[in-house]
Amino acid sequence: MCGIIGYVGPRECRDLLMEGLRRLEYRGYDSAGLSVVRKGSVGSVHAVGNLEQLRNAVAQTNGHLSGSTGIGHTRWATHGRVTEENAHPHWDTSGRVHIVLNGIVENWTELRDRLVANGAEFTSETDAEVVAHLISEYFDGDLVEAVRLAYNDLRGHYAFVAMSADAPSVLVGARKECPLVVGIGEGESFIASAIPAFLSETRRVQLVHDGEIVAVTPDGSRFIAPDGSALERAVDEVDWDEEEAEKGGYETFMLKEIHEQADAVAETLAGRLGEDGVELEDIGISDEFLKDVRRVIIVACGTSYHAGLVGRYAIEWWARRPVEMDIASEFRYRNPVLSERDLVIGISQSGETADTLAAMRLARERGAKVLAITNIMGSQATRDADGVLFTRAGLEIGVAATKTFVAQVAAMYLFALKLAELHGTLEPEVRRGLVEDLRSMPHLIAQLVDEIEEPTRRIARHWKDSEFFLYLGRHIGLPICLEGALKLKEVSYIPTDAYAAGEMKHGPIALLDENTPVVCVATDSPVLDKMLSNIAEVRARGAHVIAVASEGSGRVAEHAEQVVEVPAIDWLLQPLFAVIPLQLLAYEIACARGLNVDQPRNLAKTVTVE
Ligand code: AGP
C-alpha cells in the first residue's frame, strides 16, 4: 500500500507534493521520490527511508527540482528491494515519461520482456517501471491516449499517475481497484491516493471509480473509460476537519481500518496468486525445506495468535502437515522440543512484540527454521527469522487490530496452499477453485463491510448495556469467535468468554440466563449441524443468539434471533469474512458507550516488554 500524489497548476509544486506525501506516509514509508517537469525536461529525486530523507535529498538539489507540474510517491515495497533505484517515480528510457504507482502489476514480466525486446532500458527491479516504458511506447504526443492503450495491456491491482516532459500541463491517472481521487482547485488540480493529501488546498473532489482513466489539467479534469468513451463525474464538497482528514473522513482510525480491509487483503494477495497456485518465491524458506518439513509450530500473541489458529486449520486440512499452536509467552518458557525439520512461524503485525521475538529466537537456537509473518518492513521480527512473509495492510493506527488480522489470515491461506502444492495433497481443480475464491475476496469484503455496517450497528445498539457476552464457534469458526471476544473486551471493556461450542456443556453453559447475548460463528462447515445443536442448547436456557452465517443458509436463521450473513465461498475461507461483523459489533458497542476505541485503556499498539 503506497501513497501517490500529483499537482498541475501555476504554483511551484515541490512543497505541495512533499506535504501531500507527509499526509500519505501511513500508507508506506520505506522510500520516496518526486519528479517535476521543468523547461521541457523532468527532474527527479529518490530517497530510501522516511520522508525526512527525501526532504534532505530535495534540499540538496538547490532548487533545481522546481516546476509547476509534478508527481510524488511514498513506498511500501512489494516487488524489488528497498533501494533508491526501486523508489518511485519511475521513467522510460528517454527519461521523459514518469509514473508513480500504488499496487501490483501482475503481468509485468511478460510486458518487460516485450519492452526490452523493443529496446527499452530498465533501471529498477520493480513491476511498476513497465508502465512508464509502455506509455512511452504508445506516446505520439497524446498522453491520455498513450495511458489508455497502456492501461488496456496491464493486469493486476493498481492506481497510477503519468507525466511527460512533452505534455507538461496534464497528468493522467488510471485506477484498477486501488484508490484514486482528484482535487479541483482554482486554476490548479491535484490527484492522489487519498483526499487528505490535498485537503488543505481544496475541498472540491472527484472520486475516480474502478476501471477509469482521468486527465487533470489546471482547468479541471476529463474522465474516460478504457474504450475511450467520455464519462461524467460530479464534483463533491468535502467538509472534513483536520482530524477527520487524518482518518480519511472516518470518525476513528479503527473504523477507517475496518474499511481498508479489502485493500489490505488485495495487497497481501497481489502478485502471489498464479493461474492455479500460489507464488511465494521470495519468503526466504526453500521449497526443499518445506517439502521435508516434519511439523509446523505457530507462535504469536493476541490477535496474531488467532490468525495463526485459522492458519492451523487450513494447513492441516489442505497440506496434511501437523501444526502446533502456542502463545508465545508460554512457548518461550515451556522448554519446547524442536528439530531441524521443524518450521516455527512467528506472527506479529508490529514485528516488535517481545514474547513473539523471544519465542522465534529460542526456536532458532534449538535448530528449527523460523518464518516471520509481519506487516512492518525492517522490524525486529524480520531480523530474528530465516524468512519473512510480509502482509501488506499499510500502517495500522488503531490499537485494536483489524486490517492486519485479515491480512495475516490471507497470508496463512497463501502459505497453507503453498505447502499443499509442495506436498501434492490437493487436487489441481480444488486448488484452482481456492485460488479463484481467494482472488474474489477483496471485492466481496468491500461489499460486505458496506452492506452489514448498518444492520450490525442496530444489533450493537440493542445489546450495548449487556454485562457479559459469550462467543461460540467450532472448527475454523473457533479462532474467529476468540478474535471477536477479544475485540469486544479491548474496546468496550465488557467481560466476554469465547469457547469451542462443544465445550460449552462442560461448564460455560452455567453462565447463561435470559439476559445473555451469545455470539455464534456458524458459517458453513462439516460441523455446522453440531453448531446448530449447540445454538439450540443456548436458546433452551433462554439466552439470545446473534449468529454469523453463510449467505443463503436459512438453517441458522431458524435457530438464531439475529443473523449477519457473509459471502458463501469455500467454507475454509469464510472465517476471513466472519470476523468483520464481530469487529463492527465491538466497534459499535464501544461507540454507543462513548469510549475511545482508538486508544482503549490499559493497552498499547505494540507490546515490547514481557
Ligand atoms: C489486538 O487488537 C491487540 N492489539 C493485541 O492483542 C495484539 O494483537 C498483540 O499485542 C500482538 O501484536 P503483534 O501482532 O504486533 O505482535
Which position has the grid cell 471493556? Answer: 493
- Grade residue 474 by pLDDT with cuts at 50, 70 and 90: very high
Instruction: Determine the Cα angle at 62 with ends 61 and 68, to 5°.
Output: 80
CA-closest candidate to residue 273, choices 82, 126, 415, 430: 415
What pLDDT is stored for residue 284 in this prediction? 93
415 and 408 in contact (C-beta within 8 Å)?
no
The response to whether residue 606 sits with its C-beta less than 6 Å from ligand 1 reads yes
What value does the mean pLDDT take over residues 586-598?
96
Extract the C-alpha cell encoding 103. 499496487
Determine the Cα–Cα distance for residues 144 and 166; give it in Å rounded to an integer.
12
| Tens-place pLDDT, residues 599-608 | 899 988 988 8
Q: Taking 80 as the threshold, does the pLDDT of residue 552 lie above it?
A: yes
Distance CA 541, CA 531 (A): 16
Average pLDDT of every residue of the chain = 94
For helices 575-592 and 477-492, give the axis angle rounded to 10 degrees: 20
Q: Tell whether ligand 1 has an atom less than 6 A from the beta carbon of residue 359.
A: no
Q: Name the closest-CA residue to atom 15, ligand 1.
A: 350
- Supply the Cα-derived Rg of the chain in whole angstroms: 25
Q: Confidence class of residue 243 from pLDDT cuts 50, 70 and 90?
A: low
Helix, strand or coil, per DSSP, at residue 306: helix
Query: Does 391 contact ligand 1 (Cβ within 6 A)?
Result: no
Q: What is the pLDDT of residue 60?
A: 86
Q: What is the C-alpha to C-alpha distance for residues 269 and 278, in angstroms, rounded to an integer?
A: 9
Give the number of C-alpha atoms closer than 13 A to the C-alpha of residue 273, restricted to the C-beta side.
25
Distance 66 CA to ligand 1 centre (A): 44
Q: What pLDDT, on a 0 to 100 scale, did the predictor assign at position 310? A: 98
Q: How far is CA 192 from CA 4, 21, 130, 361, in A?
A: 5, 9, 20, 41
- The per-residue DSSP string of 45-65 comes to EEEESSHHHHHHHHHTTTT-S
Q: What is the pLDDT of residue 599?
A: 87
Q: Which residues pair with 37 in a beta bridge?
A: 42, 69
Provide the pLDDT confidence category of residue 275 given band limits of 50, 70 and 90: confident
| Residue 536: per-residue pLDDT | 95
Q: Confidence class of residue 270 from pLDDT cuts 50, 70 and 90?
A: confident
The pLDDT assigned to 101 comes to 94
Please report which confidence band the pLDDT of residue 242 belongs to, taking 50, 70 and 90 as the band edges.
Answer: low
The CB density around residue 208, as the number of other CB atoms within 10 Å, is: 23
Give the pLDDT mean for 426-454: 95
Residue 376: its pLDDT value, please? 86
What percent of the chain lies above the pLDDT cut of 90?
Answer: 81
Mean pLDDT of 308-332: 98
Q: How many residues does the chain have?
A: 610
Annotation says 605 is catalytic = yes
Q: What is the pLDDT of residues 354-366, one digit of tens each?
A: 999 999 999 999 9
Q: Would the pLDDT of 462 be above 80?
A: yes
Alpha carbon of 213 to ligand 1 centroid (Å): 39
pLDDT interval class at 433 (50, 70, 90): very high
Place of cell 482518518: 247
Residue 22: enclosing H or E segment and its boundaries? helix 14-24
Q: Is 520 a catalytic residue?
A: no
Q: In sequence order, what are the residues at sequence separation of 6 or more whose Cβ sits closer than 8 angstroms to the Cβ of residue 255?
A: 247, 587, 597
In three-state secondary structure terms, 207 is strand
Any ligand 1 atom below 6 A from CB of 350 = yes
Ligand 1 mean position to 30 CA, how many Å? Answer: 22
Chain-centroid distance, C-alpha 146: 30
Checking if the pLDDT of 587 tops 70, the result is yes
Point out which residues pair with 175 in neighbouring strands: 159, 212
pLDDT of residue 177: 81
Ligand 1 pocket check for 476: Cβ under 6 Å: no
Residues 7-64 pLDDT 10s: 999 999 999 999 999 988 877 778 999 999 988 899 999 999 888 999 999 988 877 7
Rounded distance from Cα 349 to ligand 1 centre (Å): 7
Q: Which of 410, 409, 388, 124 is nearest to 281 (CA)?
A: 388
Check pLDDT > 90 for residue 533: yes
Would you call 17 helix, strand, or coil by DSSP?
helix
Ligand 1 within 6 A of CB of 400: yes
Query: What pLDDT was estimated at residue 235?
Result: 95
Work out the number of other CB atoms within 10 angstroms of the CB of residue 285. 21
User: Which residue has its alpha carbon closest to ligand 1 atom 6?
Assistant: 302
257, 382 Cβ separation under 8 angstroms: no
User: What are the backbone angles phi and psi of residue 135, rounded to the nearest 5°?
Assistant: -60, -45
Which residues make beta-bridge pairs with 184? 189
Residue 579's pLDDT is 98
